[in-house]
């Protein structure tokens, strides 16, 4: 299905194939392309930077200063920009080093089925790793298998030995059906970390910069973690992540700050161009409309046993089995709408700038595809 396509270009909410067919894109680079494909304000900034310089070996360039300033705009004053990296995975690895060096502790801890990346350490935080087992990386259950109170009890037990350097949190689990704990749960996690001298790292690679409907989802929940990781929508799909930390955390040589492509000028231009465009647009209004449209169109499916979770332009439909999810994807595909599927989950990740007509038509098609797939599924049982 999707692998049968060959994409030639993208424009706004469309991906266009080499044979000229247009598809409404509700995958958006797994949530990264929030302002739409080929957004001219971003393209223009990157194009101009290409004419100047691509890579300086981390020697400072003005565009990085501008991008860093825009990233921290609106965050509480205790936060400072630390570094741009090429991916969320790379930023997570640096955050691990930050935490272990800062606390002089060996262990790190995450929650089951989060998605922090696919390196050995980042993936071991989230699910069993059959390739290499890392003794200092531990995983606690999450709310899809355990109650919040039980998880918090196990967290306290894990931190009580004072060996855990950091707890890593993905507030909305993008690869696990958009499962999300309560704000009180996350606040308790933060408070427990502080009680035992453990850093709290919140991964906002997916939720940040309005994908969740908020510039910073952690800030919207009233959280103040020690380290924040941003990415994806921050540069409208250009490969980049950012590490932001509490000013009380010193960056030391043992943390191995930087890499070949960190803080490169192209990254700075993409981030600066994207965030300047977000400031120009009424992102709150755009995301509120998408959030309301998805809720009103797809919530009736709950009566048929479908679970709808999400916020802003980050949504998942959960079905009783993977076969139904694949049928929904196939029916939408036949109507030139692209959806991603992971196990029982269909993910809906529109651009913030999608036209209201296309949004309404696409959501209506997804709704009807769900009804059709559920009906077909019941006939085969």
- pLDDT for residue 131: 74
Count Cα neighbours of 208 within 13 Å in the Cβ-side half-sphere.
Answer: 30
Instruction: Please indicate, yes or no, whether residues 347 and 248 belong to a single structural domain of this protein.
Output: no
Instruction: Please indicate, yes or no, whether residues 333 and 311 belong to a single structural domain of this protein.
Output: yes
**Stretch (H or E) spanning 106:** none
- pLDDT for residue 378: 53
Secondary structure letter of residue 75 according to DSSP: S
Instruction: Please indicate, yes or no, whether residues 375 and 247 belong to a single structural domain of this protein.
Output: no
Instruction: Please indicate, yes or no, whether residues 201 and 118 belong to a single structural domain of this protein.
Output: yes
Instruction: Please indicate, yes or no, whether residues 274 and 288 belong to a single structural domain of this protein.
Output: no
Do the beta carbons of residue 116 and residue 125 sit within 8 Å?
A: yes
Produce one character per residue of 288-307: b if its CB has 16 or more CB atoms within 10 Å, e if not. Answer: ebbbebbeebbeebeeeebb
β strands within 171-274, DSSP E: 199-204, 227-231, 241-246
* Pairwise CA distance, residues 181 & 365, whole Å: 30
Question: Based on the structure, what is the number of domains in the chain?
Answer: 2
Domain boundary among 255, 280, 305: 280
Instruction: Please indicate, yes or no, whether residues 126 and 151 belong to a single structural domain of this protein.
Output: yes
Do the beta carbons of residue 31 and residue 211 sit within 8 Å?
A: yes
Instruction: Please indicate, yes or no, whether residues 136 and 71 belong to a single structural domain of this protein.
Output: yes
Q: What is the largest CA-CA distance in the chain?
A: 64
- pLDDT for residue 379: 53
For the domain that residue 17 is a member of, what is the CATH number?
Answer: 3.90.1150.10
Instruction: Please indicate, yes or no, whether residues 111 and 240 belong to a single structural domain of this protein.
Output: yes
Instruction: Please indicate, yes or no, whether residues 73 and 222 belong to a single structural domain of this protein.
Output: yes
Please name the residue that has the structure tokens 């952690």.
218
Q: What are the mean pLDDT values of the chain's consecutive 10-residue runs (381 residues total)?
A: 92 97 98 98 97 95 97 96 96 98 98 95 87 89 97 98 98 97 98 98 98 98 98 97 97 96 97 98 98 98 96 98 96 98 97 98 98 76 49
Instruction: Please indicate, yes or no, whether residues 263 and 289 belong to a single structural domain of this protein.
Output: no
Nearest to 200 by CA among 191, 212, 209, 213: 191
The answer, as to whether pTM is greater than 0.85, is yes
Domain of 197 in residue numbering reads as 40-280
Domain boundary among 230, 246, 280: 280
Instruction: Please indicate, yes or no, whether residues 19 and 56 belong to a single structural domain of this protein.
Output: no
Instruction: Please indicate, yes or no, whether residues 294 and 311 belong to a single structural domain of this protein.
Output: yes
Domain boundary among 233, 261, 280: 280
Nearest to 201 by CA among 215, 218, 220, 183: 218
């Amino acid at each position: 299905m999707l692998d049968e396509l060959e994409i030639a270009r993208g424009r706004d909410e469309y991906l266009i194939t080499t044979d000229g067919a247009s598809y409404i894109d509700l995958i958006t680079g797994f949530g990264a392309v929030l302002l739409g494909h080929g957004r001219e304000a971003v393209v223009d900034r990157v194009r101009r930077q290409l004419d100047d310089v691509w890579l300086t070996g981390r020697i400072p360039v003005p565009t990085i200063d501008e991008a860093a300033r825009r990233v921290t705009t609106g965050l509480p004053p205790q936060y400072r920009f630390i570094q741009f990296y090429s991916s969320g995975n790379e930023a997570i690895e640096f955050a691990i080093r930050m935490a272990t060096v800062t606390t002089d502790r060996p262990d790190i801890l995450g929650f089951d089925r989060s998605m922090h990346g696919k390196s050995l350490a980042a993936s071991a935080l989230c699910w069993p790793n059959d390739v290499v087992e890392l003794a200092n990386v531990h995983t606690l259950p999450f709310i899809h298998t355990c109650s919040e109170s039980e998880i918090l009890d196990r967290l306290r037990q894990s931190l009580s030995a004072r060996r855990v350097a950091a707890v890593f949190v993905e507030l909305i689990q993008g690869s696990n059906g958009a499962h999300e704990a309560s704000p009180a749960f996350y606040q308790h996690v933060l408070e427990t970390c502080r009680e035992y001298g453990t850093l709290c790292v919140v991964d906002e690679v997916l939720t940040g910069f309005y994908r969740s409907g908020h510039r910073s989802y952690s800030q919207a929940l009233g959280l103040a973690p020690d380290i924040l990781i941003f990415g994806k929508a921050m540069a409208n799909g250009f490969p980049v992540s950012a590490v932001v930390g509490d000013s009380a955390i010193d960056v030391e040589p043992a943390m191995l700050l930087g890499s070949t492509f960190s803080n490169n000028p192209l990254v700075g231009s993409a981030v600066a161009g994207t965030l300047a465009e977000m400031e120009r647009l009424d992102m709150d209004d755009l995301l509120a409309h998408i959030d309301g449209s998805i809720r009103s169109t797809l919530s009736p499916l709950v009566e048929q046993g479908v679970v709808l979770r999400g916020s802003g332009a980050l949504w998942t439909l959960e079905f009783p089995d993977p076969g139904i999810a694949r049928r929904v994807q196939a029916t939408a595909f036949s109507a030139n709408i692209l959806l991603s599927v992971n196990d029982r989950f269909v993910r809906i990740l529109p651009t913030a700038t999608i036209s209201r007509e296309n949004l309404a038509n696409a959501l209506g098609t997804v709704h009807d595809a769900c009804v059709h797939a559920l009906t077909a599924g019941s006939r085969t049982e």
